[in-house]
Chain A
Amino acid sequence: MRKACLESVYELAKRDPRVIFIGSDLSPDLLSEMRREMPDRWFMEGVAEQNVVGMAAGMAIEGLIPYTSTIATFFTRRSLNRLPWIAVYTMSLSA
């Protein structure tokens, strides 16, 4: 499932230049084709889940479509505090 999700991000990125991938210290060959073909839209950041979600929010505010991925156990709870605020910003943009 993980592979299918990640490959889907790459497929979406090929179709839409607004699509961005942001990972948080995942495996070294993750989405390597996307990395090679569109290096400016492929990000591998450190072990910093709050930052990854905040970064994605900043990109979304500017009209990009970021997809973030990392280990569920850490990502869900460490970033939870950020999500309601980010939802408010992005909803107010689309309103």
Chain B
Amino acid sequence: MPGVEASTGALGHGLSIGVGMALAARIQKRDSRVFVIMGDGEINEGSVWEAAMCAGKHGLSRLAAIVDYNKMQSAGPTREIQDLEPLTSKWRAFGFSTLEVDGHDVSELRKAFGRLPLDGTRPTAIICHTVKGKGIPFAENDPAWHHRTKLSRETIADMYEALD
């Protein structure tokens, strides 16, 4: 799909691919920018931090790492399963400039993206504070909705109602 060159799987490989794409742009003297979206559970993967170190080393200012930080991973709250705090400081320690935004506020997101790069010598990490299942009241913040396969007709109707 144009604009989305790599998928989310395998978990934790996206940032390395983004590093490669940003380095390629530098070698080919293109001014394109690279955005990598990651889940908060996903950044438990060690490979994310391998890539973060590398992005910091190369000062990839055209690379932005976006973290969907809804504080809920598959098995439960991130603070219980694998606490990520202090998350912003971690990215900073790996050589990134950082921004924290309300990930549901489109105008705030536009403003944040409009400010990129925050620093011409560093990649940027945007920590998006979000609510898992936002907009579907009975699914919000409930890890049981992380992945589901069987939905009753009644539940599907309730979901449509919540979206209306």
Binding site for B on A (CB under 8 A): 20, 40-41, 43, 45-46, 48, 50-51, 53-64, 66, 81-82, 85, 89
Cα-based distance from A55 to B15 in the complex (angstroms): 9
Binding site for A on B (CB under 8 A): 5-7, 9-10, 12-13, 15-28, 46-47, 50-51, 53-54, 57
Cα-based distance from A55 to B44 in the complex (angstroms): 19
Is the CB–CB distance between A54 and B20 below 8 Å? yes
Majority secondary structure of chain B interface residues (helix, strand, loop or mixed): helix
Is the CB–CB distance between A48 and B50 below 8 Å? yes
Most buried by B among A40, A45, A54: A54
Most buried by A among B5, B13, B15, B46: B13
Tell me the smallest distance from the CB of A32 to a CB of chain B, in Å.
20
Across the A-B interface, the 4 shortest Cβ-Cβ residue pairs: A58-B20, A54-B16, A62-B24, A48-B50
Cα-based distance from A64 to B18 in the complex (angstroms): 14
Q: How many A-B residue pairs have CB under 8 A?
A: 96
Cα-based distance from A54 to B16 in the complex (angstroms): 5
Is the CB–CB distance between B23 and A59 below 8 Å? yes
Chain A residues, CB < 8 A from B15: 54
Chain A residues, CB < 8 A from B28: 62-64
A51 and chain B: residue at smallest CB distance: B50
Cα-based distance from A41 to B23 in the complex (angstroms): 10
- On whether A51 and B9 interact (CB within 8 A), knowing A40-B27, A46-B54, the answer reads no
Is the CB–CB distance between B54 and A61 below 8 Å? no
Chain A residues, CB < 8 A from B25: 62
Is the CB–CB distance between B16 and A55 below 8 Å? yes
Tell me the smallest distance from the CB of B9 to a CB of chain A, in Å.
6
Chain A residues, CB < 8 A from B12: 50
